[in-house]
Structure formats: structure tokens, C-alpha cells
Structure 1
Amino acid sequence: MQRTLMMSMIALSMGGMSVAAQAQTQQQNEIEQLRQEVQALRSLVEQQKVQNAQTATAIANVQRTAATVPANPVLKTAKGAEFNLYGNVRLDASYKVDGGPIDWPYNQINNVALEGTAGNSDRLSSTLSATRLGLDFKTQAAEQEVKGKIEVDFLGGANFDNLRIRHAYVNYGNWLLGQTWSNFAVPDYMPETIDANAYVGGAVKRTPQVRYTAKFNPQTNLVLAAEDPKDKLVTDKVITQRLPAFTARLNHQFADNLNVSVRAMGHEKRINSEEEMAWGVGVGAKYDVVPGTTLKADYYHVKGDSSFVSFANKGVVVEADGSLVQNEFDSIMLGVTQKFSDKLHGTLGYGYMTFDKDQNYLDAPGSAATANKNLWQAWANVFYSPTKPLSFGLEYVYGERETFASKTGEDNRLNAVAIYNF
């Protein structure tokens, strides 16, 4: 019995050892499997790192290649200045029911035929003389960038078909030297027109000048300039000058949608030994009522000058005794431009100019018969741009001229334009 009990205990002991051995073996197998999985995961991570590095290298190579091949190659002069060429090809046409004496399609409201006088009526005229060509330059001088512009068209000469300079100037810091828009008679506040000569109350004056701009803050700046007014002839007398015209313009942006400009000018008019001081003031405003709707207005009061504001009577005339008499006038131009879409917009505008009556001025030789008392014009236009470089416009204008001799004349025209910009 004891022997049997002992044998049973030995059997149980051997069975327990066998179970324990099996459990240990299974545990070792699981550990080995886990070790293999960890090793595989480690290899996968190392492989991913290599792929990421290769991808980063490829991207860097692409970026470097793109940086060395610009989309728009930079053009340079022989002296190293960068420049770009721009311009347009422009065809203007006008059908005059009634109009000025010169056979071209631009404004001549101050010279339209008076009643009882044979005029230039019922006539079609066209020209490509307003076609433009321009170059913008820039280069680095020390720590300051120098910019320049040269722009020409073909509206020069007696027949308005010769090459002429529109703009030719250099900008260095706050200084400008050369020819560009007058600091006094700026076109910024004129409602848009098809007519390249603008309408009553506007000014398209470009002068040789030296200009300095003082910036008080991002919203306000003051521009001072010394300009050549190019007012040379009065009847058969020659105007000489000892000093340039001095002009000042204060610009201020009251809000994102409202800009205002206040301007002043003064210069000497000298004929023989006689001299008078010409002067003028102006104010312009641009107001975006809502997105796509813009109002513009421009006002001038000028005495003794006809060189800055277009279509004015002679600024000064010579009396029989040799003394000088000045002309004085007020003018205003206003209009609204509506953008209907990215391709279509139009403008309604009105301009008016009135001259003070001075009997001494009217009694001067050659003045009374031709001096204008009032001028006005109203116009409506529409511009259509089917693609970015092309633009087509159609405009109707009607105006009247009244002289101090109580005679009137009419300006009645339909204008069209086609422009290719490049």
C-alpha cells in the first residue's frame, strides 16, 4: 500500500514537471516571436526614414531648379538696369454731326463753329496717333532704387501724327526729375472718357519739372514742384519767363473709399517789360460709393493762365498801350463710373467752364470776337473688354460754346475706340 502511494506521488510529480516544462517552452516561443516582430518593425521604420530623406532631397532639387528658371525672364540694358516694355495699339474714330475745325477725332469744344459760320460737320475722322510705346526702368544705386520711365505716342506736330514725348523722367527716393503729369493739373479725378483730349473742366498737362514728395503718413503726402508751364504765345506777342511755375499738391486719404487732393500754382507772365502774376487753385475727389460705383469731381479757379487747364481762353492779352490784362475762370468736371462686370463698365460725365467778363480783356485786339463766355459738355460711354488685352469703347458727347458776343456753337459727336494692350 505504501509502495502504491509512493508510485502515485512520483507520477503526479513527473506530470507537474512535464506541464511546467511545456509552459516554459511556450513562453520562450512567444518571446522569440515578439522579438522577431519588434525587429521587423524596426527595419520598417529605418526603411521609411531613408525614403523620407530621398523625397526631401528630390523636392529641394525641384525648388532649386524652379528658382533658377523664372517664369518671366528679366530684361536688362547694357548698363545693367532692368526694364519692361509696354504699350498699346489704339484706333480712334469719330463721326461729327457738328464739331471743331481740325479734321481729327478729339475734343475742340473751344473752337467749334459758331452759328452762321461754316463748320466741320457730318464728317468721319480716324487716327492711330494715340498709339503708345513705353519703357519702365529700375536699377540699384548704393542703397537706393532708381526708377525711370520713357513713354511716347504719335500726337505731336502740326498735323498730330509725329512722335512726341509723353513721359520721360527719373525717380530717386522722394525726388522726380523729368517730364510727366503736372503737379497742379492732375488727371486722377477726371471721369473716364474715350476722347484722348479730355472734356471741359479737365486737364491733360505734362510738363518738364523737378518734384519732391514729403510723406507725412501712409494717408497723407505733400508734393512740391517747379515746372515749365510752356505758355509761350499770346496773339503775336511772346511770353517770356524768368522763373518756373511753382506748384503744390496735398493728397489725403480719408478712408479706403475716399481720396481728396488740394492744389495751388503760381508763376509770372512777362511780355516785353510788362509782367503779371498768374495763379490758380484746384480740388479733386474720388469716392467709391459701393464696390463697382465710383464718383469723381475736379474743380479749378485760375487767373492769368491758359497752359494748365484745357480749353481756357488766353490767360493774358496785351492792350493797345502795351499793358497786360488777365483772364479769370472757374471750371468743374464730375461723373460716375459703374462697373457692370469684369468685362463691362460705363461712365456718365459733365464738364462746365465759365469765364469772368472783363471789358478791358475783351477790348484788347483780337479778343472780343473769339473769347468764350461759357463752355459745357456732357457724355456717356461704355467699355467692353472680351479678353484682357482687348478693349472696345463707344461714346456720345454733346456740348455748347457761347462767346461774349452772344454767339453759340455745338459739339455733337459719336466716338469709338479699339485698343490692344501689350
Structure 2
Amino acid sequence: MKLNHTFLALMAAGLCSLPPAAFAQTAKDFEDMRNELKALRAELNALKAQQAQAPAAAPAASASAWNDRIEAVELKQKDAVVLGDIPGSFRLPGSETSIRVYGYAEANMVKDFKGTAPGDHFTNLMEQPLGDARGGKTSLTAQTSRFGFETSTPTAVGTFNTKIEADFYAYCGSECNRNRLRLRHAYGEYAGWLIGQTWSTFMDTDNLPETVDFNGPPGATFRRPAQVRYTYNNPNLAKFQFALEEPTDGAKGLNFVARVDKAFDWGNVNARLLSHEQRIEGFSKRGLGFGLGAGYKITGTATLMAQYTRLDGDGDGAYLIGANYPVLDGSTVRLDRSHGLVIGLSNVFSEKMRATVSLGAVRSRQRLGDDYVNAYGGEGNHKLYQWHAGMYYLPIKNVELGSELIGGRRTTFDGQKGDMLRLNLQARYLFN
């Protein structure tokens, strides 16, 4: 915890060291001060010329007053901070780097009407209690609050961008208090190259429905690995990305991702390929993944989105949320063959209200009697589906109130079922 406290203290000190006028000045304000300073200097020079021709005591006093005015404007200019090149950012005088500080404080209340899955405040359908489980718990948490900052610096071949973001939801084992600092994003981006930690290149963030629930529906990718990514964007053709990503826990070889995206006036489409290694007790196997995604603008305010993912195994449960873990069958690593689908429909009713309904589903292609199921057990997940119906209301600027009803069902290989039904209420207070 000492490192976490030190990090927070350094960030707080950095923010507090900004000039008092930070965020208050615009580029026009700064230019007006420069023009005022030039005018004052011109008037002072004219006054000095008059003194040289007809020296007197009164002009000397006036010159002193002019000097005081010039000094005041210089101090004001020195303390000024101007708007940066990215929305919500600022720049210090003499610096070309735009800096944006952002984040939000967030509180969630979750009420389970069925049984509560272990290990998390938010949805965890993969471990939903089986049978007619009732009397789920009510929980409150603010651990998903976050903060971050990003920078943008112009160069001869484009901008150099950086980003660091953290929240307080670090994993620390089942049924523990996760209230500790966790790194979400940390990367630099320049001339098409990205190096650092951020969303996986295999993840379709463009077509992932918004949910009040922090985890969202199963059936999609939700991973933030360290990676090296190269992007080639040809607006007339498509955007191509290639990445080497941090391997799954225990694996030694890097994961490889290739992706192509195409944007249209009506929406977007993408296709993704993944090669990843899974390793258990010294035995390994390489699996493949494939994904398709699309978004369609039904109207100016309504958007339909969908994504499909096919994956061979998933050791850390993040390349396909809801897929079963690989297992060791003698000296053979068995990979679950899973299919995931997520569909969502969102609509912005006004500046103060938006809503989204979504469905996520995962299905294993294994069956009782298959080698994988014999090694994994009958209680492995055969089918999962989970639906969300939520909305956000913005009563005042920078405040969002969310509510969402969530339901789902888990079905195991041997036919057992576990149902989920819960309500998630949220209050979020944003800055910048």
C-alpha cells in the first residue's frame, strides 16, 4: 500500500502545483493579454520620449504608474493557462503539450433477487449458484471510481499521445475487499505505433453496448493487456492493426492479433483474428480466435450493434467472457470451443436521457462424453445468456444517475441451471 499512497500523493501534488488560473483562461484571453502588454509598452515609450523633451515631476509619477500596470499584466500572463488542442485540455505558456485531467466518483448499489455469485459486486454469471437459489445479498461500493490524465504533443509527423488511468477495483482473490489501486491504461502512441497497456486489439469497443453494470454481458472480449500495436489507416480503404499482446497467465509465447476496421456513413464493420497460447503445468497448446463486429445507425439517435466471437479456450476468461478455462487431460491441454454473441440497441432520447438494451450469450460446442467435458466435469458451463435493460438520467451537468435490471441463466453440461435477477442503481459525478 505504500506505493499506492505515494503515487496518489505525487499526483495530488502535481495537480495542486498548477497555477491558480488553471482551466480559467482561453487562448483568446492569453492573446488579449499579450496585446495589452504591447500597448502599455508603446505608451510607456511615448511617455519617456515626452519626458526627454520636457522633463517634469508629474510625468515621472505617470511613468511609475505605467510600470506598475505593466508588471501586473506580466504577472497575470505568467500565471495564465490556455486551452489545449484536445477537448477539455490546457497548455502552460511556452509548452506545446496539451494536458487533460479527467475521471469520476461513482457509487453503485446492487440488489440480487436470486442467489449471489461469489467473488464480485457485479455480474458473474459463470459462477451463478445452481438450483432455486434465493435471498441474494445487497451490496454497496464506490471502488469503480477512477481518474486519469492524457497528453497530446504535436510533432512533424503527427501527434505524440500518452494516457494513464487507474481505478480502485484491483482483484485480490475471492470474497475480498477490492478497494485498492489498479492500473487500467498506460501507453504512448506515435506515428501509428502504440506501446503500453490498453484495450486488446481483439476487443470490439465500438460495438459493445453501454451497461450500468461494470462487467457487462458475457460473449464479448474485455481485456487490457500490455501490447505493441501498429495501425495503418487508409481512409479510402480501411484501418489495419497488428499487435503482439501479453500472454495468458502461465503462457510463454506472446499472443498475436490482426484486425481490419471500415467506417461508413451508416455505421461500421470489423473483422479480427487471434492466435494465443494456453499452458498448464508445463504443457501448452495454441488456440485460435475469430471475431466480427458491426454497428448500424437506425436513426440519428438510435444505434444497433452486434459482435460475434469464436474462441479456442481462454485461460484468464477475458478474450471471451463466459468461455470455460482450458484443462489438462493427462498430458494434453484441452481447449473449450466457444461461441459468443452480443447484441445491443441504444437510443439517446435527449441531452438528459439515454437508454440501452442488450443481450449476451455464450455456448460451448462440447457435449457430455467429449474428452474436454470428461476432463472438466459435468458442471462446466454449456450455455450462458444474460440481458440488460438500463438507462441514464442527467439531472444537472456532470451528474449521471443510472438504473438497470439484469437477468440471466447458466446451464451446465449435465443440465443444471442457475438463474440471475438483479437491480443495479448508480450515481456518477464526473469531472472534465
Question: Does the TM-score normalized on the shorter chain lie above 0.5?
Answer: yes
TM-score by length of 2: 0.75
Equivalent position to 2:216, from 190, 198, 208: 198
Mapped to 2, the partners of 1:406 and 1:78 lie a distance apart of 67
1:322 aligns with 2:293: no
Q: Where does residue 222 of structure 1 map in the other structure?
A: 240
Match of 2:371 in 1: 360
Equivalent-residue separation in structure 1 for 2:94 and 2:179 (angstroms): 31
Residue type of the alignment partner of 1:128: A
- Residue 145 of structure 2 aligns with an amino acid whose one-letter code is T
Structural mapping, 1:231-270, within 5 Å: 231-232=248-249, 239-241=250-252, 243-253=253-263, 255-270=264-279
Any residues of structure 2 matched to 1:261-300 within 5 Å, and which?
A: 261-272=270-281, 274-300=283-309
Task: Please say if residues 99 and 413 of structure 1, whose CA atoms lie closer than 8 Å, have aligned partners that are also in contact.
Answer: no
Q: Structure 1: which amino acid aligns with 2:159?
A: E
Q: Is the partner of 2:113 in helix, strand or coil?
A: strand
Cα distance in 2 for residues equivalent to 1:61 and 1:146: 29
1:3-42 equivalences in 2 (<5 Å): none
- CA distance change for structure 1 residues 166 and 120 in 2, over 3 Å: closer, same or farther? farther
Which of 329, 335, 338 aligns to 2:344? It is 335
Aligned to 1:419: 428
Shift of 1:272: 4.6
Distance across 1 between alignment mates of 2:213 and 2:93: 35
Q: Deviations over 1:274-299 (max 9, x none)?
A: 33211110011111111111101011
Distance 2:313 2:120 in 1: 29
Residues 268, 336 of structure 1: alpha-carbon distance in 2 compared, 3 angstrom cutoff: same
Aligned-pair CA distance for 1:271 = 3.4
Q: What SS does structure 2 have at the residue aligned with 1:206? A: coil
Structure 2 partner of 1:409: 418
Asked if structure 1 preserves the Cα contact closer than 8 Å seen for 2:195 and 2:228, the reply is yes
Letter in 2 for 1:248: A
Among 157, 167, 170, the alignment partner of 1:156 is 170
Structure 2: distance between partners of 1:65 and 1:227: 54
Matched, 1:382 2:391: yes
Question: 1:394 touches 1:416 (CA, 8 Å); kept in 2?
Answer: yes
- The residue that corresponds to 1:64 in the other structure is 35
CA–CA distance in 2 between the matches of 1:98 and 1:345? 28
CA 1:109–1:81: 2 relative to 1, 3 Å: same
Residues 292, 307 of structure 2: 8 Å contact kept: yes
1:373 equivalenced with 2:382 (yes/no): yes
Inter-partner Cα distance in structure 2 for 1:61 and 1:372: 66
Other structure's SS at 1:98 match: coil
Alpha-carbon distance, 1:81 to partner: 4.7
Aligned to 1:91: 107
Q: Distance in 1 between matches of 2:363 and 2:289?
A: 15
Instruction: For structure 1, list consecutive stretches of 5 or more residues without a partner in the other structure.
Output: 1-59, 233-238
1:135 counterpart = 2:149: yes
| Aligned mates of 2:343, 2:291 — CA distance in 1 | 14
User: Matched residues in 1 for 2:158 and 2:401: separation?
Assistant: 40
TM-score (norm 1): 0.77
Q: Distance in 1 between matches of 2:101 and 2:145?
A: 14
Change (3 A) 1:88 1:219: farther
Alpha-carbon contact 1:402-1:408 (below 8 Å) kept: yes
Per-residue CA distance 1:156-208 (angstroms, 9 max, x = gap): 03132211110000001100000000000232211111111111213321110
Q: How far apart, in 2, do the equivalents of 1:61 and 1:269 lie? A: 62
Summarize the alignment of residues 107-146 of structure 1 with structure 2, pairs less than 5 Å apart.
107-115=123-131, 121-140=135-154, 144-146=158-160
CA RMSD of aligned residues (A): 2.6
The separation in 1 between residues aligned to 2:284 and 2:93, in whole angstroms, is: 47
- Of residues 189, 202, 206, the one that matches 1:184 is 202
Instruction: Say whether the 8 Å CA contact 2:212–2:426 is kept in structure 1.
Output: yes
Q: Is the 1:104–1:127 Cα contact (8 Å) retained in structure 2?
A: no
CA shift, 1:120, in A, is: 7.3
Whole-angstrom CA distance in 2 between matches of 1:377 and 1:181: 23
> Which residue in 2 is equivalent to 1:102?
118
Distance in 2 (alpha carbons) for counterparts of 1:144 and 1:190: 29
- Seen in structure 2, the aligned counterparts of structure 1 residues 122 and 277 have a Cα distance that, compared at 3 Å, is closer
Q: Give the Cα–Cα distance (whole angstroms) in 2 for the partners of residues 108 and 361 of structure 1.
A: 23
Does the aligned pair in 1 maintain the 2:116–2:136 contact within 8 Å?
Answer: no
User: Relative to structure 2, which stretch is displaced further, 76-85 or 166-175?
Assistant: 76-85
Query: Deviation string for 1:51-107 (max 9, x for gaps)?
Result: xxxxxxxxx978835996666483559998542211000111110012433364311
Work out which of the two has the higher radius of gyration on C-alpha atoms and give 1 or 2: 1
Equivalent-residue separation in structure 1 for 2:420 and 2:182 (angstroms): 27
Check the 8 A contact 1:259/1:285 in 2, yes or no.
Answer: yes
SS in structure 2 at match of 1:181: coil
Given that residues 303 and 326 in structure 1 are in contact (C-alpha distance below 8 angstroms), is that contact kept between their aligned partners in structure 2? yes
Q: Hey, what does 1:309 align to over in structure 2?
A: 320
